Structure 1
Amino acid sequence: MTWHVMLEVVRDGPVPLGAQIADQVRHQVERGLLKPHTRLPSSRQLAQDLRVSRSVVVEAYEKLTGEGLLESVRGSGTRVAAHADTRIRKPVVLVDRAIPPVRFNLLPGTPNPVTFPHREWGASYLRALESTRWQGLGYPPLLGLDQLRTELVAYLGRVRGVLGSPDDTMVTGGFAHALGLVCAALRELGIDRLAVEDPSHDRQRQFIEENDIRTVAVPVGPEGLEIEPLYASGVRVVLVTPSHQFPLGVPMSPQRREELVRWARDIDGWIIEDDYDGGLWLEQRCRHLALQPTGPDRVIYAGTASKLLAPGLRLGWMVLPPELTAVMERVRVRRDLGCDGLMQLAFADFLRSGLLDGHLRKMRTRYRSQHGRLMRAVERYLPVATLVGPVAGLHVFAALPAGLDEEALVTQALQLSVLVKGGRVFHDRPHTARPGLVLGYTALGESGIEEAVRRIGQAYERQPGGVRRAS
């Protein structure tokens, strides 16, 4: 199929032909005439349309790709980048905060929607629709459909080392739904406090408090959650991200895992494991399995499809200690009537057919490449930053020099159309924390990553004491 775009060139003018093409495409993108994801003609086709040398078009495309306006997708040609929409419009409201319109969104935990396996997922959903009699159309069991719970147990055991049975596995509408159910169960058990990592996800802390459970911050060290302060806190339940701590990225050491499970057994307590990006370990070595097999009688294991596929699916799961399954069912019957049956059957098919394994294999390759691009961009444009943690997940923590005004840097970056979160917002006492940035890198193409970091480098240079990088 040939694609067409309205461009004209002046052959006898003072501006080179390649610059004319780049200027016109840039202008059309900025005016919103060429929208994000719009496919452009091949360099050969556009050269024929304009009657110019193909090298002229290639030069223009490469220039715009370097600026982050275009991206080249193997097998799909050249497209307008997803982040290239610069029109002024109403902010998008996400949960309880407004996201301003920007070209470069570096918020953590955002998979690129372009990578969603539409064809494979559609095939699984169609098979679920064609095969169901009534299970996918009636009220599902509160724990979830047998087919999905059976596949989840097999998959989680094979990939994450999780020990469990379908009878103690519960399907949820994502992690927030699961956490709300756990908070309700804790209140039923007479527990009104929950320890959280410091730093940890600010929205999770707020969510827990809104569910009438008080949070107690426990510091995270190089090996993970500190155990002595946990004992001293007097709490009986803790929420952790042991495989890839959020936001610092450090994995919990094997010794610390043993100590944490010992704590839970010593005080008759519970550990909530948020394995939020399990399956997206990108390093070729030192792969960390779940914490749950270290103490399946004490760990509530929770995961979701949000980072693996897309948050819009609203699919999550918990593998529960058998002792807690009955109370979780009692709590749930008062709160909802289960999750979408057809979605459960589709996801069961997606797991059973190996399609999730194949998809994640592709994503790990893609994300490794993007992570490498991010590291090179930080080294070039923001050399004062130190990237913390292994190559894993959908974000990287970049530690910045002490004394830097993190809030001013984030604000200046926003003025340059880069949306990024500072690290201090995730701390219980932000003013005492070292400044840093949490860089979500998977929602942008590689050219977008480099341009976004370049602009953050510009924002840093404008701060008091910001050192101009070498040219």
Structure 2
Amino acid sequence: MAESWVNSAERIGSDLHLELSGGGSRRAALIRALRAAVQDGRLAPGTRLPPYRSLAADLGVARNTVADAYAELVAEGWLTARQGSGTRVAERSAPPPRVRVPKRAPGAQPKPAHNLVQGQPDAGSFPRAAWLAAARRAFAAAPNEAFGPGDPQGRIELRRALASYLARVRGTRTDPDRIVVCSGFTHALRLLFGGPGGGSGGGVLRGRSPSSRLRSNRGDPIAVEAYGLGFHRSILDAARVRTLPLPLDEHGARVEELADVPGPVRAVLLTPAHQFPTGGPLHPARRSAVVDWARTHDGLILEDDYDGEFRYDREPVGAVQGLDPERVVYIGSVSKSLSPAVRIGWMVLPEHLVGAVLDAKGEREAWVSVPDQLTLADLVDSGHYDRHIRRMRQRYRRRRDHLVTTLAERAPHITVTGIAAGLHAVLRLPPGTEATAVKAAAWQGVGLEGLSGYRHPAAAAHAQDGLVVGYATPPEHGYAAAVEALCGVLPPAPDEG
């Protein structure tokens, strides 16, 4: 039997008295009226509010006005929204008391109670015993010269280990002489394009190095995916490199549109193994197409392989670099596989770029700790790195499955994408609800990010609402609670009040 909203002692019916007075919009007036009704006790904790359509008809306002007002009050903590339960007055009738907290340094953010921010592995999973054992073995075997002035290209022990590991696991084609060790993807970008922290020689791909034969001028733009990390674009902006977005679909970046991008594009930055952040590999036909483009236009592909080892429901996807080592710069690191605290990354370079990158790196700048390089080399050669990856792949798969199952039960109207690989998922939201969901998450102490924060400023036509949820980040003992808290901040189904 359908619920009556008129004569129920437990629910507020169509005769709910709300005065939409005061200045501002109808939405603002409704928010004030509902908030006042909760404060003065007319709407008791647990009271279920009318559906959007019912209240909108009673008040003579648009349905979206009611939906926005409810969502705002959910974000503020006055109301709660649950799948199958509608919108209710929160159990507390007033916001929590203000708590005095010490002043933070400029730019510092408080730590959320439940951290679901993407890009971070579980810090408690770092293989401390294996790392210590590898360090002991590496230090005992290292020659004395390893602890003298270093090699800007990186220790040969690590470059040999990486050449073998990447060929076996990621399908790259290289040798140790084509690998340059760096501190991560950000460092690699700065070496290639210049900017602060790039070393003493400046950027390789901006026409600054005579040892590079890539035909690129200072004003040439670089093509990037329509969704990606904003701080990567910031690095390119600081180097005065203009970025042009490529649209995305279910098969990855639409690389066929490179031919239509305005300007003499000579380079494209891709995440072909697992598009960041939307998920999914670059389709095989598009992999071949982008390599053909690079050959035809004397271009270069920058391949960001940020989490290629973590796949769950599909066969491994090899590196694009294996299709043409002279047209691809392959970049990887241990920030996802081990820890972002271990500042080790690598560039697998075309032969003609090795000297230029070393010139940019300089003789005395931006070197990675030699003891850490020796330790990682031993960890890889001994097989402990592979064992750690397999163990974490199983753990993260269980976490992903828990997230997907819980959302299917609690919020079936939310579509989860990008889950066949990686350490994060994208939750697709109804249009217009992302900002409110992010605000509600902040209020409830859930750390996560909206999908719009990853969209290229010039890609507004491809806007989608969503949340980027890092399921690898929370500690093991706190993961279930983090998922539960996440469910509490999701918007209700569109037809549910």
Stretch moving more, 425-434 or 109-118: 425-434
What residue in structure 2 maps to residue 201 of structure 1? Answer: 229
Please tell me whether residue 236 in structure 1 is matched to residue 266 in structure 2: yes
CA distance in 2, matches of 1:294, 1:340: 32
Q: Relative to 1, partners in 2 of residues 1:98 and 1:381: Cα closer, same or farther, differing over 3 Å? A: farther
CA distance in 2, matches of 1:465, 1:220: 26
CA distance in 2, matches of 1:217, 1:224: 13
Contact 1:195 1:235 in 2 (8 A): yes
> What's the CA shift for 1:307?
0.4
Higher relative CO (Cα under 8 Å, sequence separation at least 6) belongs to 2
| Aligned with residue 307 of structure 1, among 321, 324, 336 | 336
Q: Relative to 1, partners in 2 of residues 1:367 and 1:437: Cα closer, same or farther, differing over 3 Å? A: same
CA distance in 2, matches of 1:206, 1:141: 29
Alignment of 1:248-397 (within 5 A): 248-283=278-313, 285-333=314-362, 336=365, 338-397=367-426
* TM-align CA RMSD: 2.2
Task: Normalising by structure 1, report the TM-score.
Answer: 0.76
Contact 1:139 1:338 in 2 (8 A): no
Q: Relative to 1, partners in 2 of residues 1:178 and 1:384: Cα closer, same or farther, differing over 3 Å? A: same
Please give the secondary structure, in 1, of the residue aligned with 2:146. Answer: coil
Please tell me whether residue 171 in structure 1 is matched to residue 199 in structure 2: no
| Aligned with residue 410 of structure 1, among 433, 438, 446 | 438
What residue in structure 2 maps to residue 398 of structure 1? Answer: 427
What residue in structure 1 maps to residue 217 of structure 2? Answer: 190
What residue in structure 1 maps to residue 157 of structure 2? Answer: 147
CA distance in 1, matches of 2:167, 2:104: 38
Q: Relative to 1, partners in 2 of residues 1:144 and 1:399: Cα closer, same or farther, differing over 3 Å? A: same
Q: Relative to 1, partners in 2 of residues 1:387 and 1:185: Cα closer, same or farther, differing over 3 Å? A: same
| Aligned with residue 425 of structure 1, among 423, 447, 453 | 453
Contact 1:242 1:251 in 2 (8 A): yes
Percent of aligned pairs sharing the same letter: 35
CA distance in 2, matches of 1:425, 1:166: 38
Please give the secondary structure, in 1, of the residue aligned with 2:144. Answer: coil
Q: Relative to 1, partners in 2 of residues 1:88 and 1:372: Cα closer, same or farther, differing over 3 Å? A: farther
Q: For residue 410 of structure 1, what is the amino acid of its counterpart?
A: V
Q: Relative to 1, partners in 2 of residues 1:134 and 1:270: Cα closer, same or farther, differing over 3 Å? A: same
Q: For residue 143 of structure 1, what is the amino acid of its counterpart?
A: Q
| Aligned with residue 137 of structure 1, among 147, 163, 178 | 147
Stretch moving more, 442-451 or 138-147: 442-451
What residue in structure 1 maps to residue 131 of structure 2? Answer: 121
The count of residues paired between Structure 1 and Structure 2 equals 377
> What's the CA shift for 1:447?
6.4
Contact 1:138 1:341 in 2 (8 A): no
CA distance in 2, matches of 1:191, 1:156: 32
What residue in structure 2 maps to residue 211 of structure 1? Answer: 239
Q: For residue 278 of structure 1, what is the amino acid of its counterpart?
A: G
What residue in structure 1 maps to residue 488 of structure 2? Answer: 458
Contact 2:304 2:332 in 1 (8 A): yes
Listed one character per residue, the Cα deviations across residues 215-239 of structure 1 (whole Å, up to 9, x for unaligned) are 1111122211112321222311011
> What's the CA shift for 1:91?
8.6
| Aligned with residue 105 of structure 1, among 110, 115, 134 | 115
> What's the CA shift for 1:90?
6.0
Q: For residue 399 of structure 2, what is the amino acid of its counterpart?
A: Q
Contact 2:280 2:420 in 1 (8 A): no
CA distance in 2, matches of 1:90, 1:281: 42
Please tell me whether residue 245 in structure 1 is matched to residue 275 in structure 2: yes
CA distance in 2, matches of 1:203, 1:209: 9
> What's the CA shift for 1:324?
1.1
CA distance in 2, matches of 1:92, 1:224: 40
CA distance in 2, matches of 1:337, 1:453: 39
What residue in structure 1 maps to residue 6 of structure 2? Answer: none
Q: Relative to 1, partners in 2 of residues 1:90 and 1:218: Cα closer, same or farther, differing over 3 Å? A: farther
> What's the CA shift for 1:273?
0.3
> What's the CA shift for 1:210?
1.4
CA distance in 2, matches of 1:397, 1:92: 31
Alignment of 1:437-452 (within 5 A): 437-445=467-475, 448-452=478-482
> What's the CA shift for 1:434?
1.3
CA distance in 1, matches of 2:408, 2:183: 40
Q: For residue 416 of structure 1, what is the amino acid of its counterpart?
A: Q
Please give the secondary structure, in 2, of the residue aligned with 1:455. Answer: helix
Please give the secondary structure, in 2, of the residue aligned with 1:99. Answer: coil
Q: For residue 284 of structure 2, what is the amino acid of its counterpart?
A: P
Q: Relative to 1, partners in 2 of residues 1:116 and 1:435: Cα closer, same or farther, differing over 3 Å? A: same
Please give the secondary structure, in 1, of the residue aligned with 2:247. Answer: strand
CA distance in 1, matches of 2:343, 2:104: 19
> What's the CA shift for 1:407?
1.1
Q: For residue 231 of structure 2, what is the amino acid of its counterpart?
A: R
What residue in structure 2 maps to residue 158 of structure 1? Answer: 168
Unaligned regions of 5+ residues in structure 1, if any?
1-86
> What's the CA shift for 1:139?
2.1
Give 1 or 2 for the bigger CA radius of gyration. 2
Unaligned regions of 5+ residues in structure 2, if any?
1-98, 194-202, 209-215
